[in-house]
């Protein structure tokens, strides 16, 4: 962990987002100056309440913003030293960033294997079948489900979505709320696999989550967003031990706090915004 912190200062990060502003439909400003760095080989998480702009940040990175009439109006995004904020979604995929969209979004009227093959759409090598086996190695239960992907359970669909991302052999995967709608046990399983993939394959992960508890445990570094801005960032330990984070995202807080009277919401307003 501390090694990771050192690495952030040393080398230039794999992905760096510099002070971006995003406007939808030319009028609705969603992001007001977001900056974040994702160092190579690490898991970075982006936390925050609903509507904070987490998904928008991911879409700005992956280029999918343009499919929703959104635009990066200020700032820039660089990936491996190359600007990607003006690129199309399909070109961003080719440069090595793969986004697993919120709500899994697998192709329901195709089988699991067809979905996985589609993940490898940008590749032209002959090792695609090998990689399908690799995905089945991480998610053995997908192998047993040969029917249409639309009939898979929520957890299996999430696994398929992550597996599909692996098929592209990306340098970085952006995961948008992988825990959405999953039972606690499945959330644990999915996060376990995310960490395992990160360790085995060295794929960098940018993880947007509501489930701060699991996300922070899996991540090396975290950012917290509110109303289109980053309000706090720090390493895993820093965030896990931060009183405000504990209170607002992890549940619990000060040991002595026993009643609502002691809630410190006013303090957050002062300090974060």
Partner 1 sequence: MNFELLIQLIVNGLIVGLLYGVIGMCFVLVYKSTQIVNFAQGEFLLVGAWVCWASLIYLELPFFLGFILSLCFMAAFGVLLQMIVLRPMIGEPIISVIMVTIGLSIFFQALMKWIFGVSPQSYPQVFDTQSINIFGLNIEMAYLMSTIIALIIMVAFYLFFKHSKHGLAMRATAFDQQVAQSLGISVKQVFAMSWGIAATVSATAGVVIGMVNGVSDSLSIMGIKVFPAVILGGLDSIVGAIVGGITIGVLENLAEFFDSQYLHIGNMYDIAPFYVLLIILWFKPYGLFGTKDIERI
Using the contact rule CB under 8 A, the part of the chain among 6-14, 96-104, 178-186, 228-236 near partner 1 is 96-104
7 binds partner 1 (CB under 8 A): no
The DSSP letter of residue 166 is H
148 binds partner 1 (CB under 8 A): yes
Judged by beta carbon, residue 119 or residue 228, the one nearer partner 1 is 119
24 binds partner 1 (CB under 8 A): no
Q: Are 109 and 57 in contact (CB under 8 A)?
A: no
Residues in the interface with partner 1 (CB under 8 A) total 31
> Which of 175-199 are b and which e, b meaning 16 or more Cβ less than 10 Å from the residue's Cβ?
bbbbbeebeeebbebbbebbeebbe
Q: Which of 7, 32, 74, 94 binds partner 1 (CB under 8 A)?
A: 94
List phi, psi (to 5°) of 149.
-65, -25
The DSSP letter of residue 50 is T
158 binds partner 1 (CB under 8 A): no
Judged by beta carbon, residue 96 or residue 222, the one nearer partner 1 is 96
Instruction: Determine the Cα–Cα distance for residues 196 and 4; give it in Å rounded to an integer.
Output: 17
70 binds partner 1 (CB under 8 A): no
Q: Are 33 and 21 in contact (CB under 8 A)?
A: yes
Residues within the interface to partner 1 (CB under 8 A) = 62-64, 67-68, 88-90, 93-94, 98-99, 101, 105, 107-110, 114, 117-119, 121-122, 148, 150-151, 153-154, 164, 168
């Amino acid at each position: 962990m501390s090694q990771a912190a050192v690495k952030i200062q040393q080398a230039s990060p794999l992905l760096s987002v510099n002070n971006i502003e995003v406007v939808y439909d030319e009028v609705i400003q969603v992001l007001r100056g977001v900056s974040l760095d994702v160092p190579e080989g690490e898991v970075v998480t982006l936390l925050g309440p609903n509507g904070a702009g987490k998904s928008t940040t991911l879409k700005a990175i992956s280029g999918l913003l343009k499919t929703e009439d959104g635009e990066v109006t200020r700032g820039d995004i660089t990936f491996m030293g190359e600007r990607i904020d003006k690129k199309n979604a399909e070109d961003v995929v080719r440069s090595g960033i793969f986004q697993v969209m919120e709500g899994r979004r697998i192709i329901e009227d195709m089988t699991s294997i067809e979905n996985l093959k589609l993940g490898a759409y940008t590749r032209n090598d002959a090792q695609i079948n090998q990689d399908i086996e690799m995905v089945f190695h991480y998610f053995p239960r997908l192998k047993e489900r040969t029917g249409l992907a639309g009939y898979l359970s929520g957890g299996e669909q999430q696994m398929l979505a992550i597996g599909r991302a692996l098929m592209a052999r990306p340098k970085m995967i952006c995961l948008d709320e992988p825990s959405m709608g999953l039972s606690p046990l499945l959330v644990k399983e999915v996060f376990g696999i995310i960490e395992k993939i990160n360790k085995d394959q060295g794929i960098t992960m940018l993880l947007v989550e509501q489930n701060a508890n699991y996300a922070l445990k899996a991540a090396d570094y975290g950012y917290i967003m509110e109303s289109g801005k980053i309000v706090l960032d720090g390493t895993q330990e820093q965030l896990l031990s931060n009183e405000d984070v504990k209170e607002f995202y992890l549940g619990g807080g000060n040991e002595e706090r026993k009643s609502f009277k002691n809630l410190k919401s006013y303090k957050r307003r002062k300090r974060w915004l």
